[in-house]
A and B are shown apart, each in its own frame.
Chain A
């Protein structure tokens, strides 16, 4: 099968939030791009005659949607190949329906030179699965002290800059970096955190930390960091994206900033929509994440934030780990969940459970994150790269150690029932699976 092969996906329910389309349609793909979207379902036979050598894919009773866009997933290469590799994770992402992924810069070496970014992109091309978009380091060596070579990295194709989850210890440096990025219209991805208040905490400061005696992270750690970030966004005029919020108060603050006309978007990782601190199994390191799972009230506010549009995107925050990283007393384990596989079914279930209409729910993992990362992705439009997935919205399945495609088996969702599964993934017009 090659790029020249034409495809016809027939009889599926097209879900394209970008054009607010939700209807039965046939889709023609040629030369790696969407060629034609046919909403008159009776035209199928004439399409098949016109493109007689086309590969036909029947999507009856299935959803056809843009390939998912994930703003934050770690593929561990270069530097931590014992946990996972670009090959293993881009394949796992594609099978899970995720066709475009932003990679945070905290690899080893750090993504602070064009050569590192290029190597990552090249490896993903060789893997021939999900497309990978590296984010560049905001500060030199991510140490938060000096400016990184932001202009060089943006010129080399990086879609944004970030300091990953590492501390930006100098407020002065943060302001300068944001001013500098604004000069070149580069989006800065910020993780709102005051690192002193974060300390060595590993759970939310509240009922769980009191009961279990684990070192705690107060909500104030995020709120103080976010207040600082918003003030600097206002004074520098930079385009900013706030990563991974977890507090109700953060949603309010971002809403206010947006109302004041600031160019600020936000995302939440899927776990904070699915769970709160009461869902944690005591001392089970699979629940160790940062930011920590907070209260039911915070969880509800984040869901409302998606509904109201204050939070534009949902990401997996995928962090595959080797067994040893999770096999120790809770506070000694590394935080992070392997989560590519649960992103799609979880968005479908959240859409149902919280009465978010399907187009809006899918937008949070397709066209909205694509817009934040300025990618030509996340939509089904003629002449756009043909990245799309065919989803069975009714398939009931369970995540197990055997069917996780990622190298990381560190997931608290194992043995949980899920509904909705990606059956086929097409990237640049090529059928991946």
Chain B
């Protein structure tokens, strides 16, 4: 059973969240609609506010992060706590070269300590899927990023953020810029945009940062910001994944910024009301300039707040369906 199939109950309900693959448009809409319940927008103060509940009151959520992360781990922790759950954080250095505890043993040990939900981040593609294949019937698994493969919660919070401003996905032209090759975020974003009906999806970068056969995913590739950003509604910037690159995939930082960095003049190629997203953390002056990152056109900070609401929704949905399916 593939990861796309394993994450759904026989009735087609989401019981793990491993990948955008195989999810219907309705699945994505349900997640966004549920997330909407957890966030209130205060028009007067021009700020959003998160709603707390206790739907996961008797549950223990374990953040199992085998790759360093403060931001994602923190948002999952906040999300779990806002649902009333107990949270355990495990930062484990793990490599295939070391003779430490296997992923499987770690999971079984934590299950023996009555964990109900695992949020897993690992440097190996397929890690969360592997975990989901081996957990007990009542335990759900969320993929917080597996190697270069997928980061589905990030894609969902991006879609939620886009929907708040430009809900007509079918008519949008979207460009994803940067290190697509090593990006699990990009893969999940492309999947989500396609499922929601977006037809004009572009990736922009040098050939060393673009995966082969990307066209087969229904995406157009560009080596020039001028051509790639032409007429776009949304510019989704990616962080340069320095820790994932084995050697030089781009020349100097200065050259990268000049060729592919997003600044005010490059934004002119996009539509006048185009908006900017970035999963964070940003490298100011490398992939994005400060004036754009801090401008009204940037949705970077709302993405963070939305991320908590979206993760609350996903945690609650999966845990509920998993419990339902297994009595």
* A residues adjacent to B (C-beta < 8 A): 199, 205-207, 209-215, 281-283, 324, 327-332
Cross-chain contact A211 with B217 (CB below 8 angstroms): yes
Q: Mark B98-119, 1 if CB is under 8 A from A, else 0.
A: 0000111000000000000000
Inter-chain contacts of B124 with A (CB < 8 A):
328-332
Cross-chain contact A199 with B126 (CB below 8 angstroms): no
B81 on the A face (CB < 8 A): no
Query: Shortest Cβ distance from A369 into chain B, in angstroms?
Result: 34
Inter-chain contacts of A332 with B (CB < 8 A):
96, 124
Give B102-143 interface residues, CB cut-off 8 Å to A: 102-104, 122, 124-127, 129-130
Cross-chain contact B129 with A283 (CB below 8 angstroms): yes
* Closest residue on chain A to residue B191 by CB atoms: A211
Query: Shortest Cβ distance from A311 into chain B, in angstroms?
Result: 26
Cross-chain contact A210 with B126 (CB below 8 angstroms): no
Cross-chain contact B125 with A283 (CB below 8 angstroms): yes
Inter-chain contacts of A282 with B (CB < 8 A):
2-3, 126, 129
Point out which of A209, A213, A282, A328 has the most chain B C-beta atoms below 10 A from its C-beta.
A213
Cross-chain contact A212 with B126 (CB below 8 angstroms): yes
Cross-chain contact B216 with A207 (CB below 8 angstroms): yes
Inter-chain contacts of A213 with B (CB < 8 A):
125, 146-150, 184, 187
Cross-chain contact B104 with A328 (CB below 8 angstroms): yes
Cross-chain contact B212 with A206 (CB below 8 angstroms): yes
User: In the complex, A283 Cα to B134 Cα: how many Å?
Assistant: 14
A-B contact pairs, 22 of them (CB 8 A): A199-B246, A209-B211, A210-B214, A211-B217, A212-B126, A213-B147, A213-B148, A213-B150, A214-B147, A214-B148, A214-B149, A282-B3, A282-B126, A283-B3, A283-B126, A283-B129, A328-B104, A328-B130, A329-B125, A329-B127, A330-B126, A330-B130
User: In the complex, A303 Cα to B245 Cα: how many Å?
Assistant: 37
Given A328-B103, A329-B124; A210-B2 close (CB under 8 Å) = no
Give the size range of B's interface with the partner.
20 to 34
User: In the complex, A213 Cα to B122 Cα: how many Å?
Assistant: 13
User: In the complex, A215 Cα to B102 Cα: how many Å?
Assistant: 20
B243 on the A face (CB < 8 A): no
Inter-chain contacts of B146 with A (CB < 8 A):
213, 329
User: In the complex, A332 Cα to B127 Cα: how many Å?
Assistant: 10
User: In the complex, A332 Cα to B66 Cα: how many Å?
Assistant: 14
Given A329-B103, A331-B147; A212-B246 close (CB under 8 Å) = no
Inter-chain contacts of B148 with A (CB < 8 A):
213-215
Inter-chain contacts of B42 with A (CB < 8 A):
none
Give B185-239 interface residues, CB cut-off 8 Å to A: 187, 211-214, 216-217
Q: Mark B55-68, 1 if CB is under 8 A from A, else 0.
A: 00000000000000
Inter-chain contacts of A327 with B (CB < 8 A):
102, 104
5 shortest interchain CB distances as A-B pairs: A213-B149, A213-B148, A283-B126, A329-B124, A210-B211
Inter-chain contacts of B96 with A (CB < 8 A):
328, 331-332
* Closest residue on chain B to residue A218 by CB atoms: B212
Inter-chain contacts of A283 with B (CB < 8 A):
2-3, 125-126, 129-130
User: In the complex, A324 Cα to B211 Cα: how many Å?
Assistant: 31
Given A281-B2, A331-B147; A205-B212 close (CB under 8 Å) = yes
Inter-chain contacts of A205 with B (CB < 8 A):
212
User: 5 more A-B contacts (CB under 8 A) besides A211-B187, A213-B149, A329-B126?
Assistant: A209-B211, A210-B212, A213-B148, A327-B104, A328-B102
User: In the complex, A211 Cα to B190 Cα: how many Å?
Assistant: 11
* Closest residue on chain A to residue B151 by CB atoms: A213
